[in-house]
Each structure stands twice: as C-alpha cells, then as structure tokens.
Chains A and B, each alone.
Chain A
Amino acid sequence: MLLSQGSMGWKLKSSLYVITGAIAAFLALPIFFIVALSFGSSRWLVFPPPKWTLKWYEKFFENPQWIDSAMTSLQVALLTSVIATLIALPASFALVRGKFKGRDYLYSLFTLPMIVPVVIIAVAVYGVFLNLGLTGTLFAFVVSHVIVALPFAVISIINSLRLFDKSIEDAAVICGAHRLQAIFKVTFPSIKPGIFAGALFAFLVSWDEVVISVMMASPELQTLPVKMWSTLRQDLTPVIAVASTLLIFLSLIIMVMAGLARRYSNR
C-alpha cells in the first residue's frame, strides 16, 4: 500500500507530494536562476537586475578562450570516455567470469580512485607529470581524467554483466560459434546499455572535472571548468552564467538524445 498510489491514504499521499514538490523546486532553483542571471545587466550580480541584456553573451562569444576551452573539454571527455571503457570492459569480464581468489579486492582496487579524495589524486599526479614535463598536454588531461572516470565505467559494466545470463552465450558456443564470436554477437549487444552508461558517466566525470584539470592546465591548453574556475576566482563576471546556461542546454540536449536512443533501442 505504500508502493501503489491507489491504496495510499490521501493525507499521506498529499503530504508526500507537497514535500517532494518542494524538494524538486530546491533542485531546479539554481538551474533556472543561473539562466536568468545570464541575462541580467548587473556586473555585481544584483538580482533582480536593473535591466535585461545580451551583452554577456556577446562577451562570451567575443573571447576565443571560452570556445577553445570548450572544444578542449569535448576532446578530452570523448577520449577519456573511449579509453576508460576500453580498459574497463576486459577487466569487468575477468572479474565477473573469473573464478580466481581476490576478485573482491581487485574490485576495491579498481574503484579506489573514486574513494581517494580527488585533491590528493590531483596533487600526486601533478607532481609526477611535472617531473616528466607532461603538464599542459592533452595526454596529461586524458590520463588523469581516465583515473577518476575508470571506477564509474567498471561499476556500470560489471553491474550489467552480472545480470546477463551467461548460458545464452554458452548456447551460442554450443551451436558452433567461436567464444569471441559469441561474446561480440550475443553478449555485447545485451549489455550495451551498461557499456553505454559507463561511457556516458566517464564522459560526464571528465567534462565536469575541476580540481585535477586546474593542475594540468597551461595557458595554451585548458578545459572549460578550468576557465570557469579561474574566472570565478578572479573576475566573477556574469559571463560565467552565460557559460553555465549554455552548458545546461547542452546537458538537456544530451539527455533528450539519450532518452530517444533508449526508446529506439528498446523497440
């Protein structure tokens, strides 16, 4: 009765709806607010603003650094997503299918980068990359992002692989398929949502990474969060609100596309 709308008492039901509505508003508030802020005229974030304006949008598009850093972010996030997935996929197979001892420990090891505070990872990796002269390179960004993205890819793929019934794959093998053929033709298609989710998570982790990126950045190469962070610290101009608004629209587009893709693949 607590899990079906029909049989819930109206008192309980209405209070639950009201509370949830308030929390949902709490979640949506900053997002709507920042969109409004990007059109405000006040340099010092007075709200409601004296006037509405598009000048911060002009400033955003005038400054090539914003666009450049957004392109770098995209490049880094795509590479991170692909590499993290390619590394996580075989490892997940080994962990789920393998019968060797210590699998739980390996799992803990693979998810360790998620548990170790990101500040510490950033400082540690920065020290090494600096010695090797690698900071400020695409390589440094991608490698350091893969470290923190890896756990998300591993968890997501392992979860879907655990739910996949291996006997279907075995059946394909018995019917004469080579094991690899069976994996590619039978197993991969059915755990595709898990792989896709892992890749998407890895992408998002990289796309939104601030602390490590600040360390890896150089004047020629920085990601969007780095640009936003330094602007927040130094200028605090509403151009940040513009960047944020554009990011929100991008997220919306990705969400809609992901939703459509799911609907399409379910068909």
Chain B
Amino acid sequence: MMMNTIRGAIIAAACCAGVTQGYAQESVNFVSWGGSTQDAQKEAWATPFTGKTGIKVIQDGPTDYGKLKAMVESGNVQWDIVDVEVDFAYRAAKEGLLEPLDFSIIDKSNIDPRFVSDYGIGSFYFSFVLAYNMGKISGQPAGWSALFDTETFPGKRALYKWPSPGVIELALLADGVSESDLYPLDLDRAFKKLDTIKKDIIWWGGGAQSQQLLASGEVSMGQFWNGRMFALQEDGIPVGVSWEQNLVMSDFLVIPKGAKNKDAAMKFLAYSTSAQGQADFAELTAFSPINKESDSMISEDLMAFMPTTYADDQVSLDYKYWAEHGPDIAKSWNEWLLK
C-alpha cells in the first residue's frame, strides 16, 4: 500500500518532469541592445519566465532596425521579441512591420498609458538628464540652458547622435520655448541654438560610449540616459545629475510581423510588463517601470535615482510626432550636421 503510493508519486513526478521537458522545447528569441541593459532583462525577465513556463528564452542582438525590416520582408523572421526605441515602434507599426499585441494575454490595466500602443508595450522608461563630471565643472549646472553656457561651465558636451527625440527638444527648451509650445518642432530655431556649441559637441552612439566619455573627462557634461549615470555613480565616479527638465523616453517591446513563436512571445510580454518583472528590472538598472504597481515594490534608496521620483520636472516627448515626421527631421538633421 505504502509502496504503491510511493510508486504512484514517482510515476507522477516523472510524468510532470516529462511534461515540463516537453515545454522546454518551446523557445522565444529575445532581442535587445546588449550590454548591461540586456543582462538585466535576462535576469529580471527571461530567467524567471523560463522557470515559470518552461519556455526557453534565447538572447540575441543587438537590435538592428534594418535587419528587422529585412526579416519581415523576406518572411523568414528569426526574432520574436525586439526591444526598440519608442518612436521606431510607432513608425514600424505604420509600415506594417509589427504584430498587433494580444491584450487578452497581456494585462495593460496598470500600464502607464504613455507607454502602450496597439503594436508595442513599454520595456522600461528613462530620462535624458543633464549630467556632469564634478572633477571638470565647479558649481551645479541645472536645466538644459547650462549645456549651452560654455563660459560658466567649460568643456566638451556629449549629445546623443541619432536624429531621434531628445536633442532638438532640449535645444528648444534651452532657447526658452515652453514645454507646451514644443510641438510642432521649430527645427531652424533648434539648429541655430545648437550651432552655438556645435564645435564643442561630441556625439555618442551608445550607452557605453557615453559613460566612457563622461567618466574619462573627455566631456565635462552632456545629455545622458539616467540609468547609465546611475551605474557610473555606483562605480564611484564623481558624476552629478540635474533632473530639471528631464526628457522622458522609453523603449518598447514589439513582435515583428510573422514571428515564429508569437504566442510564447505574448506570454513573455505579459511577464516582462508585470509588476514584478518591471520592479526587478528597475532594481537592476535604475530605469523606471512602466507598470504603476511596481513603484511600491522598489527600494527607497534606488528611488532617488529614478525618473519616477522627478515626475514634476518631466518633459514628455511626443513620440507619435516623431514617428510621423522622423524621416523628414532626419533629412534636415543630416544636412545641418554635415554642413
């Protein structure tokens, strides 16, 4: 009798093991930008997700919009979930490159409405902040106008090099345009303002480069992602951050049209945007959660480094405007840059 129960339990356990193993065959390809961000995404989302569902998450990257488009066009889509910039998410949706999300699987009731659309849902949100190397600058610069004040705060400036939301807006804000009048963007005015420091600008293309520029003193201040500055401060580098007029940007998670593991991808998105997933990710990176439930789960020490805390100083960028006018802005941008 006793033996039978034990045997039954063993058989049941074996069956369960067999079942989970069966699930383990299922997998999704997760694509992000690499580096510490993707490491955090792996730790906060992929590992617990695999533990919970048995679906294996294969990490790929870095995100490459050209590759994404080529895959969709060829019909051979190897990526299931892609971390993209928010303006690209809107643009790609318009070009028909994305699968609509299934909100019966993904719960969007607690998601900040700024960070969800029919074709994409926030990965995290962050701010462009003004940060400076305290070894190179005396005083406390605040607000974007300090960036253009090379007399008081000498040294080179680091700005984000892609024609995407951020640089144009901060130039206009520094030039005295009020937040409510930002859009439609007055490009000529922005370029004119940028012209005043053009020779002092060093353009950065990725997070690691931006950190290296500021940490080594190559630049004295600039426009940076808040999470990357947090990492520098953790490392003991004397970096000051001004949250005044911090510009809110976000990354979206999208599913390319024709993705092979669409259902598993939806389940992954449901987990990554859950309160727990978002809170875990925030703890690792100091990027803010897009799930409103997560805020209470984050330690107080960390909150000091998070955009959420500086909500009053936030300037929200108009991603839809950028999705619409991005290519035209890029054209004038390139023309100005190479002049």
Contacts and interface: CB of A to CB of B under 8 A. Distances in A.
Interface of A: 43-46, 126-127, 130-133, 135-136, 215, 218-220, 230-231, 233-236
Contact of B206 (A126, A132, A218, A234): A234
Interface string B254-285: 00000000000000000000000000000000
Contact of B71 (A44, A130, A231, A235): A130
Interface in B34-67: 34-36, 38, 58-62, 67
A135 B78 contact: yes
Given A43-B235, A133-B76, A236-B211, 14 more contacts: A44-B211, A44-B212, A44-B215, A44-B235, A46-B216, A126-B70, A127-B74, A130-B76, A132-B76, A135-B78, A219-B60, A230-B34, A234-B207, A235-B36
Nearest to B62: A230
Nearest to A217: B60
A39 B70 CA distance: 41
A235 B35 contact: yes
Interface in B171-225: 205-209, 211-212, 215-216
Nearest to A123: B66
Nearest to A47: B216
A114 B119 CA distance: 43
A220 B58 contact: yes
B135 to A, nearest CB: 12
A43 B215 CA distance: 10
A45 B216 contact: yes
Interface string B61-96: 110000100110011101000000000000000000
B contact residues, range: 20 to 34
A236 B36 contact: no
Interface secondary structure of A, over-half rule: loop
Nearest to A134: B76
Contacts of A235: 34-36, 208
B215 A230 contact: no
A122 to B, nearest CB: 11
B33 A218 contact: no
B250 interface: no
Contacts of B58: 219-220
A65 B34 CA distance: 13
B124 to A, nearest CB: 16
Contacts of B61: 219, 230
B245 to A, nearest CB: 27
B237 interface: yes
A122 B56 CA distance: 31
A220 to B, nearest CB: 7
Nearest to A44: B215
A214 B70 CA distance: 15
B29 interface: yes
B71 to A, nearest CB: 6
A44 B70 contact: no
A136 B60 CA distance: 11
A234 B34 contact: yes
26 contacts: A44-B211, A44-B212, A44-B216, A44-B235, A46-B215, A130-B71, A131-B74, A131-B75, A215-B67, A218-B78, A219-B29, A219-B58, A219-B60, A219-B61, A220-B58, A230-B61, A230-B62, A233-B205, A233-B206, A234-B34, A234-B38, A235-B35, A235-B208, A236-B209, A236-B211, A236-B212
A44 B228 CA distance: 13
Contact of B33 (A215, A220, A234): A234
